[in-house]
Amino acid sequence: MRKLGPAALECTMMSNSGSTVRAVILAIILQATASAQTEQQPVTANLCDVFVSPAVYNQKVLSVEGVISPSYHSLFLSSPACRPKEDLDLTTEAILPLSWESIPNGKQLRRFLHRGKSASVRLVGTFEGDAHRYGPDGARFRFVIREISSVGKTPPNFHL
């Protein structure tokens, strides 16, 4: 085995550390790519079905149509197609993303909400429906929004 002089040894060590850095960067890129590929794709769901069978949809990324309504403390997501019953609590807190006003359709939704009006929406987000209550109003469910696909006026016969 041949002995390396100080300059050759330093060069070999720098080469090895450069290889290590490249390997770490490559591992990070591959992990980020794998995470992006495994991100849940939304499942189109009817809100009434979600409310009736929350365990089936809990922690799933859903694409839903409904109505967002402002209240004093929270936003609520509901569906004109299903009405609450005495034994069926449908209250759902809607959580907007941090930069919601800058995402597509965010400004349009803001116009409705700032006037205290409800808006008909198509959303993509994660449904949460386990055994505890959510938010300051104690909603039965929570829908964490990641995309506002469309915004429009509520149906004329819609009442909370």
Q: Largest alpha-carbon pair distance within the chain?
A: 88
Q: Give burial (CB, 10 Å; 0-12/13-18/19+) of 149.
A: middle
Judge if 54 and 86 occupy the same domain: yes
Judge if 109 and 146 occupy the same domain: yes
Per-residue pLDDT reduced to its tens digit, 79-114 = 988 877 777 778 899 999 998 988 889 999 999 999
Domain of residue 20: give its range: 1-39
The answer to the question of residue 158 being in a domain is: no
Judge if 17 and 49 occupy the same domain: no
pLDDT score recorded for residue 89:
79
Check pLDDT > 70 for residue 28.
Answer: no
The answer to the question of residue 72 being in a domain is: yes
pLDDT score recorded for residue 131:
74
Which has more pLDDT, 138 or 116? 116
Give CA–CA dist 127/133, Å, rounded: 13
Domain CATH code at residue 80:
2.40.50.140
Q: Note if the pTM is more than 0.75.
A: no
Question: Of the given ranges (49-53, 56-60, 100-104), which has the lowest mean pLDDT?
Answer: 100-104
Structural domain count, the chain: 2
pLDDT score recorded for residue 138:
83
Judge if 16 and 83 occupy the same domain: no
The percent of residues in the chain predicted with pLDDT above 90, rounded, is 49
Tokens standing for 36? 């992006």
Judge if 69 and 142 occupy the same domain: yes
Cα-Cα-Cα-Cα dihedral sign, residues 57, 60, 61, 67: positive
Judge if 93 and 137 occupy the same domain: yes
Judge if 56 and 28 occupy the same domain: no
65-86 mean pLDDT: 89
Judge if 93 and 115 occupy the same domain: yes
Per-residue pLDDT reduced to its tens digit, 134-146 = 887 788 999 999 9
Judge if 10 and 32 occupy the same domain: yes
pLDDT score recorded for residue 92:
92
Give CA–CA dist 154/146, Å, rounded: 21
CB contact at 8 A, 113 and 94: no
127-153 mean pLDDT: 89
Cβ atoms within 10 Å, residue 125:
23
Best CA proximity match to 126, nearest among 107, 111, 146: 146
Q: What is the mean pLDDT of the chain?
A: 82
The answer to the question of residue 100 being in a domain is: yes
Judge if 35 and 47 occupy the same domain: no
Check pLDDT > 50 for residue 13.
Answer: no
Judge if 121 and 87 occupy the same domain: yes
